[in-house]
């Protein structure tokens, strides 16, 4: 396992502990919750008395977040161990290839959600020149999708930590 | 040792009462009972962890499905904990509750959750003997 390492820098030792792994998973849940409540804040604010404009959050504003969450679900449902399988090990049913295709779909949904958030922010709020308190709804959309991406990165990294830890324990 | 445990229980219940006082005060002073949701959130927060901990065998390192179930429980718990802080902020931002009510309910909710967590920790520590 040592000589087929790709990167120059080693992962620090403390990252392989169980504590760091579960902290990473908790943090991912927290970030996802932050993303959801950022978007919910935009929706609630748009219906509240504070919203002076006639712009309102509808289903279209939720669509990028739905795609981002779907992408996150797909990415983190794939078994990571199958991904690094070399062509001999699982060549029977080509699991590694399938895993890569599914993972590609997941990342496409995640990036599509991010792009959709930016699109909604630009098309509905920036181009008509909405003033700022209402503009916040568009900004919150972008922030929410970015947080979903960040959350799935954190979850991915901490799950990879888990694999490393299990490997160390098995030897 | 039992006396220290008794003191701990008294202190924890005192903190829990202060947390509930803050949350209920934040509801009753402004006559809007939305912050009570914070209590429900924090009471529900350890539940996914607990359920998934019973579903999975944590000693099972060969099959990673057990670890996946544990991770799902942790993810949901993290979601609920941040929800308890985010919910009053969302409500205050839309002026459904006032900002002092938000501050009081966030502090009260953190006290309640801290009590639950530390009580679980003390309880598990006693179980190890």
A166–B77 CB contact, under 8 Å: no
CA atoms of B76 and B73, how far apart (whole Å): 5
Are the C-beta atoms of A64 and A120 separated by less than 8 Å?
A: yes
For residue B74, give both structure tokens. Answer: 């942790």
Whole-prediction pTM: 0.85
B79–A29 CB contact, under 8 Å: yes
Contact residues for A109 (Cβ-Cβ < 8 A; gap 6+)? A67, A68, A70, A71, A74
Q: Can you give the pLDDT at residue B86?
A: 94
A41–B74 CB contact, under 8 Å: no
* ipTM of this complex: 0.84
Q: Can you give the pLDDT at residue A170?
A: 52
Residue of B nearest to A73 (CA): B72
Q: Can you give the pLDDT at residue B119?
A: 85
List phi, psi (to 5°) of A11.
-75, 135
Give the SS3 label for residue A54. coil
CA atoms of A98 and A96, how far apart (whole Å): 5
Which of the residues in chain B have pLDDT under 50?
A: 1, 128-129
Q: Can you give the pLDDT at residue A142?
A: 95
Q: State pLDDT tens for residues B65-101.
A: 567 788 889 999 999 999 999 999 999 999 889 999 9
Which of the residues in chain A have pLDDT under 70?
A: 1-5, 11, 15-16, 81-93, 162-171
- Our CA-based measurement puts residue B67 at a distance from the nearest CA of chain A, in whole angstroms, of 8
Q: Can you give the pLDDT at residue B68?
A: 79
Residue of B nearest to A165 (CA): B61
- A interface toward B at CB cutoff 8 Å? 22, 25-34, 36-37, 40-41, 44-45, 47-50, 79, 81, 155, 159, 162-163, 166, 169-170
Residue of A nearest to B74 (CA): A26
For A85-118, the DSSP string reads --TTTTTTTTHHHHHHHHHHHHHHHHHHHHHHHH
Are the C-beta atoms of A168 and A16 separated by less than 8 Å?
A: yes
Q: Chain B window 14-73: which residues touch A at a Cβ cutoff of 8 Å?
A: 61-62, 64, 67, 71
Q: Can you give the pLDDT at residue B108?
A: 93
Q: Can you give the pLDDT at residue B1?
A: 44
**CA angle at A130 for the pair A127 and A131, rounded to the nearest 5°:** 140
Half-sphere exposure of A158 (CA within 13 A, CB side): 25
Q: State pLDDT tens for residues A116-162.
A: 999 999 999 999 888 888 898 999 999 999 999 999 999 988 887 75
B90 in contact with A, Cβ within 8 Å: yes
């Amino acid at each position: 396992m040592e000589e087929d390492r790709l990167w120059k820098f080693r992962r620090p030792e403390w990252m392989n502990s169980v504590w760091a792994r579960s902290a990473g998973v908790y943090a991912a849940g927290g970030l996802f919750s932050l993303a959801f409540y950022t978007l919910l804040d935009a929706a609630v604010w748009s219906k509240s008395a504070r919203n002076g404009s006639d712009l309102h959050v509808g289903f279209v504003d939720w669509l990028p977040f739905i795609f981002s969450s779907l992408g996150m679900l797909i990415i983190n449902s794939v078994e990571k161990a199958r991904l690094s399988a070399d062509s001999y090990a699982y060549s029977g049913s080509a699991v590694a290839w399938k895993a890569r295709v599914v993972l590609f779909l997941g990342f496409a949904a995640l990036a599509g959600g991010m792009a959709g958030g930016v699109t909604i922010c630009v098309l509905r709020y920036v181009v008509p020149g909405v003033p700022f308190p209402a503009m916040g709804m568009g900004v919150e959309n972008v922030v929410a999708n970015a947080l979903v991406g960040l959350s799935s990165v954190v979850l991915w990294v901490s799950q990879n930590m888990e694999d490393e830890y299990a490997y160390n324990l098995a030897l | 040792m039992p006396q220290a445990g008794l003191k701990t229980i008294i202190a924890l219940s005192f903190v829990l009462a202060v947390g509930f006082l803050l949350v209920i005060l934040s509801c009753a002073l402004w006559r809007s009972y939305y912050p009570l949701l914070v209590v429900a959130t924090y009471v529900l927060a350890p539940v996914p962890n607990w359920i998934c901990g019973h579903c999975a065998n944590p000693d099972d390192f060969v099959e990673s499905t057990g670890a996946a179930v544990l991770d799902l429980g942790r993810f949901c718990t993290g979601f609920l904990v941040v929800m308890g802080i985010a919910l009053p902020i969302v409500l205050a931002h839309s002026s459904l509750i006032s900002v002092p009510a938000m501050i009081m309910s966030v502090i009260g909710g953190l006290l309640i959750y801290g009590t639950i967590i530390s009580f679980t920790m003390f309880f598990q520590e006693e179980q190890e003997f």
